[in-house]
């Protein structure tokens, strides 16, 4: 299992500085959320953890080793599902296993197990275009989980979904995490989503982004979104993001 750490990380694209001296760590098995205004560098930080970007200065590490390239132990899921439209759900989930030269019999067993876990068993032979947005995102998560990564990186995976589907997907993601205890790092603009799901929340400043606050969410699951402590955390984050009205 992997522990993720960012040490004094800054990132610039030409003259545009998007991250400034970012420091945080994620323990193995934790569910962490990162919230902040648009353009503050949240997704850039996630891409560095995935090995798709490198810091301008500082260190991005997994188990104290510098991350300098993608690793199948860290899988990134985007807001757009990125499924292959010409492959069925089962074939999409199978894709990574094919690339890894996993034997056909084992592939079938792993696909069946993960489709049960995400509730898509009956849709194995459907194409992405035949599915709802929520189902496509579940298929995308299944494709990631079937590879059994240590770390799941989620970049606003439910940002494009309607409110009702988003709530359902949040519950499904929570159940998946409880069943696997994998390390999950979620980027979200949805403050309630962060509080509902995460053990720990990092609040980022406007660009160039840095960590303004770190909040431990010590609430029992499933969490009551209308509970007093939930509301207190929401208000704290809104204050940090200057979203309160007087």
Condensed to tens digits (0 to 9), the pLDDT of residues 69-83 reads 999 899 998 776 689
The reply to whether 53 falls in a domain is yes
Bond before 222 cis per omega within 30 degrees? yes
Q: Assign residue 222 the CATH number of its domain.
A: 3.40.50.300
The reply to whether 237 falls in a domain is yes
* Beta-bridge mates of residue 33: 186, 201
Condensed to tens digits (0 to 9), the pLDDT of residues 17-51 reads 999 999 999 999 999 999 999 999 999 999 999 99
Assess whether 102 and 199 both reside in one domain.
no
Assess whether 64 and 173 both reside in one domain.
yes
The reply to whether 78 falls in a domain is no
Per-residue pLDDT band for 141 (boundaries 50, 70, 90) equals confident
Q: Burial letters for 150-188: b for 16+ Cβ neighbours within 10 Å, e otherwise?
A: bbbbbbbbbeebeeebbbebbebbbebbeeeebbbbbbb
Res 244 pLDDT > 70: no
Res 7 pLDDT > 90: yes
Assess whether 45 and 161 both reside in one domain.
yes
Backbone dihedral angles phi then psi of residue 10, each to the nearest 5 degrees: -125, 150
Assess whether 175 and 212 both reside in one domain.
yes
Last residue of a domain, one of 148, 165, 195: 148
The reply to whether 97 falls in a domain is yes
- 39 is written with which tokens? 């353009």
Condensed to tens digits (0 to 9), the pLDDT of residues 196-229 reads 999 999 999 999 999 999 999 999 999 999 999 9
Assess whether 63 and 87 both reside in one domain.
no
Cβ atoms of 1 and 183 within 8 Å: the answer is: yes
Cα separations (Å) of 212 from 23, 35, 188, 236, 241?
10, 10, 16, 12, 9
Assess whether 20 and 137 both reside in one domain.
no
Assess whether 16 and 41 both reside in one domain.
yes
Assess whether 49 and 160 both reside in one domain.
yes
- Of 87-91, 124-128, 133-137, 235-239, the least confident: 133-137
Which structural domain, as residue segments, surrounds residue 107? 83-148
Res 246 pLDDT > 70: no
Q: Please tell me the predicted confidence (pLDDT) of residue 162.
A: 82
Assess whether 242 and 157 both reside in one domain.
yes
In what helix (H) or strand (E) does residue 229 lie, and over which residues does it extend?
helix 228-240
Assess whether 239 and 163 both reside in one domain.
yes
Domain count, the chain: 2
Assess whether 193 and 105 both reside in one domain.
no
Q: Please tell me the predicted confidence (pLDDT) of residue 56.
A: 97
Question: pTM score, two decimals?
Answer: 0.89
- CB count within 10 Å of CB 72 equals 12
Last residue of a domain, one of 126, 148, 170: 148
Q: State mean pLDDT over 87-97.
A: 94
- Report the distance separating Cα 4 and Cα 156, nearest Å: 19
Per-residue pLDDT band for 157 (boundaries 50, 70, 90) equals confident
Q: State mean pLDDT over 169-182.
A: 84
Per-residue pLDDT band for 88 (boundaries 50, 70, 90) equals very high
Q: Please tell me the predicted confidence (pLDDT) of residue 193.
A: 95
Last residue of a domain, one of 107, 130, 148: 148
Per-residue pLDDT band for 127 (boundaries 50, 70, 90) equals very high
Res 234 pLDDT > 60: yes
Q: Please tell me the predicted confidence (pLDDT) of residue 165.
A: 79
Query: What's the mean per-residue pLDDT of the chain?
Result: 91
The reply to whether 68 falls in a domain is yes
Assess whether 55 and 98 both reside in one domain.
no
């Amino acid at each position: 299992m992997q522990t993720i750490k960012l040490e004094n990380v800054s990132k610039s694209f030409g003259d545009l500085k998007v991250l400034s001296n970012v420091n945080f760590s994620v323990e193995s098995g934790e569910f962490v959320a990162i919230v902040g205004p648009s353009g503050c560098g949240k997704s850039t930080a996630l891409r560095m953890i995935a090995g798709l970007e490198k810091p301008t200065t500082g260190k991005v590490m997994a188990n104290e080793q510098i991350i300098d390239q993608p690793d199948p132990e860290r899988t990134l899921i985007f807001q757009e599902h990125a499924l292959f439209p010409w492959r069925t759900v089962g074939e999409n989930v199978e894709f990574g296993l094919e690339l890894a030269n996993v034997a056909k019999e084992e592939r079938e067993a792993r696909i069946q197990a993960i489709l049960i876990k995400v509730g898509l068993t009956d849709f194995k032979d459907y194409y992405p275009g035949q599915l709802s947005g929520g189902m496509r995102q579940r298929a995308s998560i299944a494709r990631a989980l079937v590879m059994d990564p240590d770390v799941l990186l989620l970049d606003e995976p439910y940002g494009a979904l309607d409110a009702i589907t988003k709530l359902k997907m949040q519950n499904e993601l929570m159940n998946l995490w409880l069943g696997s205890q994998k390390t999950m790092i979620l980027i979200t603009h949805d403050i309630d989503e962060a509080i509902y799901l995460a053990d720990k929340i990092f609040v980022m400043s406007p660009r160039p982004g840095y960590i303004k606050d770190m909040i431990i969410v010590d609430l029992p699951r499933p969490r009551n979104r209308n509970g007093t402590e939930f509301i207190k955390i929401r208000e704290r984050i809104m204050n940090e993001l200057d979203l309160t009205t007087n």
